[in-house]
Amino acid sequence: MPDYDTLTKTIASLTQGEDDAVALMATVACEVHHFDARFDWTGFYRVTGPEMLKIGPYQGGHGCLQIPFSRGVCGAAARTGEVQLVADVEAFDGHIACASSTRSELVLPVFNEAAELIAVFDIDSDQPDAFTAEDATHMAAILKSVFSVVTK
């Protein structure tokens, strides 16, 4: 089992006092990417306009530059405001293959202090069925703690 207590404490220490969304995203993406070998790509897609996500800070290979809310796993997380835990991306209707190596995904909505969606956090794995509900619960708690200080 991954040591989420240590990850939570590390991210809290690194982000303490920071309220800039991009700086926070860069730090979280880096720490999470290096946290677990299952995590092949980690990054944020920022809400930049009506129903549109654009690539933000990330770790790993290239990502899609923009994703409409109407497409893919990231779009589903943005559109519904709900965590998307996808064991097999090939079975997800409308999956966008930004990287051909991706087999499973965990995508979490990211909200600011005013409970407005500001981004989604995408974790991809080159392993099928790599993520659990426990991963989702811990990541959601980390994101809530870090981004609740962002005002815009």
Q: Does the residue 23 lie in any domain?
A: yes
Average pLDDT over residues 28-38: 96
For position 38, which CATH number holds?
3.30.450.40
Q: Does the residue 41 lie in any domain?
A: yes
- Looking at residue 97, its pLDDT comes to 72
In the predicted structure, residue 100 carries a pLDDT above the cut 90: no
Average pLDDT over residues 4-18: 97
**Domain enclosing residue 75, as ranges:** 4-147
Average pLDDT over residues 15-37: 96
Q: Does the residue 152 lie in any domain?
A: no
Mean of per-residue pLDDT scores for the chain: 93
Confidence (pTM)? 0.95
On whether the CB atoms of residues 46 and 124 are closer than 8 A, the answer is: no
In the predicted structure, residue 92 carries a pLDDT above the cut 90: no
